[in-house]
Chains A and B, each alone.
Chain A
């Protein structure tokens, strides 16, 4: 059995693993430098190497995760190294006790007036059109400004649902949110489909504006969870569920915090970092942030 030190983890991941709990879960999937672990309660933890936490339920390990992944079959048991362990057999044991905790929760920020939101929407959209004009859902931003150009199937489907909202005058409400979720969840290319990444960005905006309460007990949460359970993969659904509850991957949190602090010099660097996540995941999330700001402005 392998024993590995967890060097850093998110608050959300730490809250799922009390110090006295031995069982963590079993390997759900391994790819690139990521190992996903499925917990008995149905959540997906993401094990990665050192660096920014790439998932809201991320754990950074002090080891080469790509090499580790080759030694773990899907289904492999992962447990926590605790003094009261019951000698459970496992393929991987994680030492979490001394791990640094990173708080990746996005909470409501004061001062985000409609005019500020409009300015953020414009600034971020301009950055995306300049730096990633053809990636992911960025063409959607151009289409919403200039009319439907020649769009990919994914962009065209997203345009069909977003264009009426951007041109309409009605206030953004819970029904609008659920309409967007139903229309976009599981839509598009990528391991986390573009529509899901867009929704993650949108949800971040809903949190910083105080539109969305974090409560997992709300009826909206149940409806949201049902949509994602039926509409997308388990992995992408976990990112969405966390986003609804206010937890995000570190690059996105860094950008959102910089945007909300109106750090006009700092946020482009964070945008550039987020743009490197996945093939278009980071870009699609930023399109979600830009349009979210626009819809709420």
Chain B
């Protein structure tokens, strides 16, 4: 008699034993089914299934926390039908996010009928449609968290002008993260509440500073992302300045931190002036190869995200400001020295493989100060010099993510680059970040550790050692478990640094070089005496406080979610009122027809 074996893996699925036995009996009673095994995919169980001839390569993919349903049947159709029934029986309880109700609304308007007091739209639909949806949301009186990228500059200006007219805030486009009233939006960490208000034109920059603060036991009042291009000259820091005004009036916010890659000079000057006018102590972390010189009392320019967190922490605690630059700890210095002795004479290069764009940007600036020439995709200097130069890669950049998920979601993207580095004889050090938080991969440290094992095997086979240095950007309460993630990396022989800047210091120490934190050039406002570059004094645009923003801070977000359902589930997990829109491109994706339909309304 012919037999056909099929396996279904139900990842991270838990059902009580009685239910599992009932499922097994039900499937066995189906026509044409000969044998059924329903078991957790532990190593011993997979061995049993293998011996019984019930394990297929698909089933091999299951792990100890996954449920395996293995069926042997007379025909492929009977086997497939049994697995379909197994999957169906799982569905009623699986993935039943509060937002995923049976008949989800299809438009923003119908969603608002379900949640009439919504005050925020979270939009992550493709960029081509995002502007239209964001405009509709603003017209309905909703603040906008615009995760979508690929929105042109003119559209961004137009959205922000509309928001200003309506007394609303647009966070984005390309805004990866925000934390409003303790509620994480997009890729954000689980942060404690506290007195520090963050405004960032940089997602991972915001994550780094807020996580370092959380590590000090200091929480945030609000963390507002504005999208990387907000500090472009044409946008003029519109959303950042609006958020600054709101946090200036927010009673829960005692310390301000502005974070960005270096803004346009005019925007930097404007932000520095308006920060001083708030009357609250403010840290300016414009991270890169240039930074602001001292601006005025109460405004503290810093060169690194780590410095921003240290300073903001001291300001929040009311303790003296740290005067000494951060340095390697004795244990790190010893670890660097020990690692250095294991290297071969020709091993002199560093490859930095980042998920976080701003972290990569910060590392590039610091490394160029320490090592001189460093090539990177961040500024088009990468070329073909991989094998002979120090390299910083932002693996979240468009050229690496075309047609595949961002490396924060799919860490396997880094594996290939890691193996290439391991196969390059001159590479001594690999530097990497691990991003934790909502939206990120469930076990990024585990994925990196697995790739690191492979990379080490490659290097060992060639008679070389490879030094791995990692910074875990996470908060103690993050879903992945900060402590466990660090433990996994340590167990695999990777050196852990407490911050991105420290990871750079550690990496350069392994190479026998000292990394200064100060940037190559400091920009001063109206002071050319030192020879520093001078920022313009005037900026004519005025931005007023978005009238409806204090209410958002007061009551917290009530959200209509368009796009990634993941974000709605995450909000529901925080008890936030949320309606997820089962969004489809209008007119089936025919933009011309969609435009005509819009004009008919």
Could you list which residues of chain A lie within 8 angstroms of chain B, going by C-beta atoms? 1-2, 23, 26-27, 29-32, 34, 36, 38, 40-42, 70-71, 73-77, 86-92, 153-154, 157, 184-193, 195, 230-236, 278-281
Contact = CB atoms under 8 A, between A and B. Distances in A.
Given A73-B96, A188-B45, A233-B40, A280 B17 contact: yes
Given A29-B12, A36-B14, 11 more contacts: A26-B573, A31-B15, A86-B219, A153-B48, A185-B42, A187-B44, A189-B24, A191-B14, A233-B40, A235-B65, A278-B16
Given A30-B93, A89-B556, A233-B65, A153 B573 contact: no
Tell which of B18, B43, B64, B194 has the most Cβ of chain A within 10 Å.
Answer: B64
A27 B96 CA distance: 13
Given A189-B17, A233-B42, A87 B569 contact: no
Contacts of B190: 77
B162 interface: no
Contacts of A42: 481, 483-484
Contacts of A23: 477
Contact of A90 (B52, B97, B574): B574
A51 to B, nearest CB: 15
A89 B14 contact: no
A179 B89 CA distance: 38
A71 B482 CA distance: 27
Nearest to A229: B64
Contact of B97 (A2, A41, A73, A234): A73
A106 B108 CA distance: 57
B378 interface: no
Given A40-B482, A189-B39, A89 B20 contact: no
Given A73-B572, A77-B574, A153-B51, A193 B16 contact: no
A234 B11 CA distance: 13
Interface of B: 12, 14-21, 24, 38-40, 42-45, 48, 51-52, 64-65, 93, 96-98, 181-183, 190, 192-194, 219, 438, 476-479, 481-484, 556, 569-570, 572-576
Contacts of A70: 96
A70 to B, nearest CB: 7
Nearest to B192: A86
Contacts of B40: 186, 190-191, 193, 232-233, 236
A278 B19 CA distance: 9
A26 B438 CA distance: 12
Contact of A190 (B17, B43, B97, B181): B17
Contacts of A74: 12, 573
The 9 closest A-B pairs by CB, nearest first: A186-B42, A279-B17, A29-B14, A190-B17, A1-B575, A86-B193, A89-B574, A278-B17, A76-B573
B434 to A, nearest CB: 17
Nearest to B179: A89
A2 B52 CA distance: 47
A187 B39 CA distance: 9
A88 B214 CA distance: 14
B573 A34 contact: no
Nearest to B572: A73
A31 B93 contact: yes
B573 A91 contact: yes
Given A186-B42, A231-B43, A88 B182 contact: yes
Contacts of B97: 73
Given A75-B569, A88-B193, A89-B576, A40 B483 contact: yes
B24 to A, nearest CB: 8
A91 B571 CA distance: 9
A89 B575 contact: yes
Nearest to A30: B93
A10 B307 CA distance: 44
Nearest to B556: A89
Contacts of B575: 1-2, 76-77, 89-92
A73 B52 contact: no
Nearest to A36: B14
Nearest to B54: A153
Contacts of B569: 73, 75
Contacts of A189: 17, 20-21, 24, 38-39
Contact of B182 (A76, A89, A190): A89
Contacts of B14: 29, 31, 36, 191, 233, 235
A90 to B, nearest CB: 5
Contacts of B476: 40
25 contacts: A2-B575, A31-B19, A32-B15, A40-B478, A70-B96, A71-B98, A74-B12, A75-B438, A75-B479, A76-B573, A76-B575, A77-B574, A89-B183, A91-B574, A92-B575, A186-B64, A187-B42, A187-B45, A189-B39, A190-B20, A191-B14, A193-B45, A230-B64, A231-B42, A235-B14
B43 A186 contact: yes
